[in-house]
Each structure stands twice: as C-alpha cells, then as structure tokens.
Structure 1
Amino acid sequence: MKKTEWYLEYEIIKNRPGLLGDISSLLGMLSINIVTINGIHEGRRGLLILAKDKEQIERLESILNTMDTIRVIKLREPKLRDRLAVRHGRYIQRDADDKKTFRFVRDEIGLLVDFMAELFKQEGHKLIGIRGMPRVGKTESVVASSVSANKRWLFVSSTLLKQTVRNQLIEDEYNENNIFIIDGIVSTRRASERHWQLVREIMQLPAVKVVEHPDIFVQNTEFSLDDFHYIIELRNDPDEEITYEIVDKNHMFSDSDFGSFNF
C-alpha cells in the first residue's frame, strides 16, 4: 500500500535530553517514516512523515496526547506553508484578518522565492499581487521564482531595466506556462488604451499573472482586490510602512530617471 504524507508540529513543554529520540522511536514502532524534521519556531518542531493509513496517524495522535513533555499543534495532510516551514525552519507570516495576504521581510527572500515558485507551478489562472517600497526586491523575487519554477517570465509593464510598456505580444508569448508581470504604477501612469486591451487579454489566459502595486492597479481598472488569489507584502523590516505617497508626489518615475520604450 502506498504511504501518504502527513505534517506533525509539536511544541516542547519540557525539554529534556532524548525527547526527539523518544518521538522518533515511537514513529518507528508505528511503522511511520520521517521524511524531514526541523525546528520551525521557538520551542516548536515540524516533521513531514509517511504513514500507510489514517489509522496509524490516529494511534500516533492518541499516544502523543498522553505525553506531558510536548503538545501537539498540528497533525494533518501537509499544506504548502507546512512544507516550506520544515524546509526553511520558519513559518510564512499570514495576515490574521485577510487569509490571502502573506508577509515577508527582505532577509526572507529565499523563503519568498520558494513560496512563489510553488504557486507558479500550479496550473490555471492565478492572480498574485505584490506590495512593497521601491528597491525592496519585488521584481527580482518574481524573476527568481520564475526561474525556480522553470517558467518563462514576460514583462507587460516594468521598470527593472528600462520603463517597459507592452502594447502587444507575439504569437508564442500567449503561452499558459509564461509568468506575466505587470507593474500597476507604470500601467496606470504611462500606458495607452492598447496596453490596457493587452492586459485584459492576458487576464483571460489560464496562466499566472503577477501585479506589482496591486492597490494602484485596482484603483484604475475594473479589477478589485477580491480578484487576487494571493497578496504578498515584502518589507525591508517588519515595522516598515508600505506607502504610495512617493507616487502621489510623482517622484517615483520621471522621464529623466528612466528610458522608456513601447512595443
């Protein structure tokens, strides 16, 4: 019988020598294999385990709940956040009120790239927004995630090298495996109606679209934040405020700062 993967997370109540060995021995006696284990938070460990049936997991949970040295936090089929937590040794921060908003700081770029790469591998239409101040690493993270997911990225509008505003795509660029990157500020402030026609065409494709500055984007289109499947926030530090005042003052982009081309 094929074994299935489960995620176990527990909090250490009484840390004593041999605790991990006891849990490993228990898993062994139940014929449950450990795939990966890592500390994921202060006083917490996460494990990916393999079990042949749910009955094994129920027996494991029953025994673990009798132990006074640990407290079971999660025992479930693994979600993407669980896999990344074990891989990186930390959990992705999720907004308590808006469950589709995920927060990262700059020193978590590796975790962010892995997270987006996993999203990029999923098939079908997916709309992802990414917020952050200038030069925090938004575009670079999207490009790195595309490479990690083995996907081609296309700038529909961007300022990464020069200010880019696309008005059309060539035939082979209408590909469901491409990652389409749109800068909400550039599209709003510099684009023509032809560009917006292209954006609407791209939105109909069963592909991944990433919109930088989604708040500005939705202010000037028929789209809303409800249309986004994920919102990612990237900050230099946890207390940084993401603000668009610099845009309102027209200091973010000027013709003297960037070359521009349309095609």
Structure 2
Amino acid sequence: MDHKFEEWYLEYELCQNRPGILGDIASLMGMLQISIVTINGVDLQRRGMLLKAPAADHVHRLEHILRKMEAIVVIKLRRPKLRDRIAIRHGRYIEHDNDDKKTFKFVREDLGVLVDFVAELMKEERHLLIGVRGNPRVGKTESIVAASVCANKRWLFLSSTLMKQTVRTSLFEEEREGDHVYIIDGAVSTRTMDERHRQLIREVMRLPSVKVIEHPDLYVRNTDCVFEDFDYIIELRNSQDEEIIIPQETHREAEWFE
C-alpha cells in the first residue's frame, strides 16, 4: 500500500435500493480523493468497502455527508479489522459470540472462510494461542493444517490422533524455530502419563510462536492453563444447531503442569 494513503473500512445498509446509489457514493469519494480498493456485499442489504484515503479528515468529511443521505445508513467506518477484510473477501461476516468476544463460530460448509481467517492470524509474528472446539470428524485438524499451509508456516503435531496416536517427547533444533505451528490435542496430551511429553508441552507453551490446541476445554480442565490465556477460540460445527460435546474428564496425575 502507498504510505501516503490510509486504509479504511466502510459498511453501509441500503434503505432504498434505487439504481445509481453506488455511483453516487463512488462519485462523492472521487471528489474527496478517496478510492475504492474492494467492494462486496457482506449481508443481504449491506455492502462493505475497503477504501484508501490520503488523510483521516477526508474520511470524516465523507462520513458527515453519507450520514445525511436518506438512501443508506452507515454501519461502520473505521480502520479495517481482520474480520472486515475476511467479510470483503468472502461476502459475509464471521459469526461472533456476543458473550465471549474471542470466540468465533463456523459451520463445515464455510471451511474456506475458516481457513482464510486462521491463516491470517497465523501470519502475525507473535505468541498466539488458539483453541479449536468441535465434535469428531468435523474437520478441526484438517482446517488447522490447511491454514498453516496458507500462512506459509510449517505445522508440527505434538499430540494427535489424526492417523495414529502421536505423543512427541522431544523436538529437533530446527523444529524450535518461530515459523512452526505447534498442534496439540488436549485430550491426548492430558491423558498421557509420559513426563517427557508434559515437559515438552510446557517448553513449547513458552515459545513466541503459534500454538493450536484441539479440545481446549479438556486442556484447561486438566492443566493450569485458563481460558484467558487463549487469544482466540474457534468453534466448528456440521450445522448451526449442532451441539458441541465436551469430552469427559480424563485420568491424570495430579497437578502435572505445575
């Protein structure tokens, strides 16, 4: 992006779906030296736009005029967030939990949106802890692996049951680099009695890298990790009304994550 310009996200709802309304808005933006980078519908009556403006005051003048137009209602005009960019790409918003702002909900038919969303998160060069909830065979592990590939990260199972039960007890030196995505099955890791695996998990959790934990509820229940430690929780269902079954308590030695 040209450093002389700033990106903004505009979302508005149509009150009067009359011909030419988009042209009117585009002409107004042109007069204010604001260009449209991308436009898409993000709901039945809503449109989203990714904009470029030379300065914030151009956008504030645009907002002032748009709010006086009877044909539309401005819903959002802000610096673009990740959810805004995903909505523009895929034509719909990711469902968000109103009670828990870090929880995002997907159904299996929207795996493409899920993979894109998680891949963008993984591209951030920082410590990131993601939990993934979902019933068996809904596509949790496959989505994580696909997102890792899209983010150009190397995925690494520390524990898994994808093909056969995996319980890693050590890492090679090159596997400690920051461009890895470490995938942990919370059910497997909290069930194992191998102290070397437990020590490895403790070590990896301290690395400034991306960690993804399947069955986060079970992991929290059996370790000293708390949900506040997670940056995002992803819920994946076969359908909107499917209930996610939380696995029952597993046997473990007391306080093994001290």
Aligned to 1:47, the other structure's residue is in SS state strand
Amino acid in structure 2 at the alignment position of 1:44 = R
Q: Tell me how far 1:190 sits from its aligned partner.
A: 3.0
Question: What does residue range 67-146 of structure 1 map to in structure 2 within 5 Å?
Answer: 67-146=69-148
Aligned length: 249
Residue segments in structure 1 that go unaligned for 5+ positions in a row: 251-263
| Structure 2 residue 1 is matched with structure 1 residue 7 | no
Amino acid in structure 2 at the alignment position of 1:188 = T
**Of residues 223, 226, 239 in structure 2, which corresponds to 1:224?**
226
RMSD between aligned alpha carbons?
A: 1.4
TM-score of the superposed pair, with normalisation by structure 1: 0.92
Structure 2 CA distance for partners of 1:248 and 1:64, relative to 1, 3 Å: same
| Alignment-derived partner of residue 246 in structure 2 | 244
| Alignment-derived partner of residue 21 in structure 1 | 23
| Alignment-derived partner of residue 61 in structure 2 | 59
Aligned to 2:220, the other structure's residue is in SS state helix
Amino acid in structure 1 at the alignment position of 2:115 = V
Moved more, 148-157 or 185-194: 185-194
Aligned-partner Cα distance in 1 for 2:221–2:123: 29
| Structure 2 residue 215 is matched with structure 1 residue 213 | yes
Contact 1:165/1:191 (<8 A) preserved: no
Aligned-partner Cα distance in 2 for 1:77–1:248: 43
Amino acid in structure 1 at the alignment position of 2:224 = E
**Of residues 167, 172, 175 in structure 1, which corresponds to 2:174?**
172
Instruction: Give me the identity figure in percent.
Output: 63
| Runs of at least 4 residues off by over 4 Å | 247-250
Contact 1:125/1:207 (<8 A) preserved: yes
Aligned-partner Cα distance in 2 for 1:248–1:217: 10
Aligned-partner Cα distance in 2 for 1:249–1:172: 33
Amino acid in structure 2 at the alignment position of 1:112 = L
Aligned-partner Cα distance in 1 for 2:61–2:174: 53
Aligned-partner Cα distance in 2 for 1:19–1:192: 65
Q: Tell me how far 1:16 sits from its aligned partner.
A: 0.6
Moved more, 68-77 or 168-177: 168-177
Q: Tell me how far 1:160 sits from its aligned partner.
A: 1.2
Aligned to 2:86, the other structure's residue is in SS state helix
| Structure 2 residue 158 is matched with structure 1 residue 148 | no
Contact 2:40/2:91 (<8 A) preserved: yes
